[in-house]
Amino acid sequence: MKRLRVPSSLFYVSHVSVRFAAFAAALVVAAAGCSKTTTTPVPRTDRSPASTAAHVDTYTTSFPSSEKVLSDGGRWISGKTVGVDWGYVSTTPGYAIGTAGPKHFADSVALLKGNWGPNQTAEAVVRKVSVHGWPEVSLRLRSSLSEHNCTGYEISDSLRDRDPYLIIVRWNGPVADFTYLLNIKGEKYRVVTGDVMKATIVGNLITAYKNGVEIGQAKDNTYPNGLPGFGFNEGRNGEYGITRFSVAATNASGTAAPLAGQTSGQ
């Protein structure tokens, strides 16, 4: 095809005109942008860790007061006062002990009032002075007390000098009505002064720990919720108790409640 010759002067004028038109258009766009005084923010879909973290309720005490029946300003309910047939927990500064009820298997028990989530963690620090018989420190999870009725889960470590054991028990209501979910013996289950007992329940799984090491598990579907607490075995078994108790609970599914912080005044 034969090409047309275009005079160079015409090409120059056209080129300048195009560049001027582009420059003018850019000024119009810039002016339009400067004239806007408000903007519409883009919604954020991410959430901060604080807004997604599971809520955890916690409580810790080292028993600062002397109380014949543990109360801590009305925070606790007693196996004797409320349950009638069971025993109660007493405190002196830095120490909690049990006084059993008069009947067979009438353990001392104290439960912590409140709206506790179903996934619970309880922990206690043991003190052993001298023991005989069947001394036990018990952690309670998803438990309840009413007149002549006690339900929930008990996780007990033995302080016996011979044939110590670990038991996980479901209380079914009346005194002496309970079911063993786990009953195992061995030297590793004995607890002494300074040992840290811990128990968790997540869903239907109950797990016992000693000094941070898992030592036993059991499963049960009977109680979906209830109160945490602690107690001691029936009868007279020597001088022993605990020096600190902590609990945490959450509604978050599939996770154990971490022990964190202390409540005011404790």
Q: What local confidence, expressed as pLDDT, does residue 7 receive? A: 40
Are residues 200 and 134 in contact, defined by beta-carbon separation less than 8 angstroms?
A: no
Q: Where are the domains of the chain?
A: 57-250
CATH number for the domain running over 57-250: 2.60.120.560
**Of the candidates 49, 54, 53, the residue with the CA atom closest to the CA atom of residue 252:** 54
3-state SS, residue 209: strand
- What torsion do the CA atoms of 178, 182, 187, 188 make, to the nearest 10 degrees? -120
pLDDT, tens digit only, all 266 positions of the chain: 433 334 444 333 344 343 434 444 443 334 444 443 433 333 333 333 333 457 899 999 999 999 999 999 999 999 999 999 999 999 999 999 999 998 899 999 999 999 999 999 999 999 999 999 999 999 999 999 999 999 999 999 999 999 999 999 999 999 999 999 999 999 999 999 999 999 999 999 999 999 999 999 999 999 999 999 999 999 889 999 999 999 999 988 888 899 864 333 33
CA distance 139 to 34: 69
214 forms bridges with which residues in the sheet?
209
- 136 with 233: CB under 8 angstroms? yes
Sign of CA dihedral 222, 224, 225, 229: positive
User: Cα(150)–Cα(148) distance, rounded to whole angstroms?
Assistant: 7
Residue 62 C-alpha from the chain's centroid? 18
Q: Which of 132, 133, 163, 151 is nearest to 229 (CA)?
A: 151
pLDDT at 235: 84
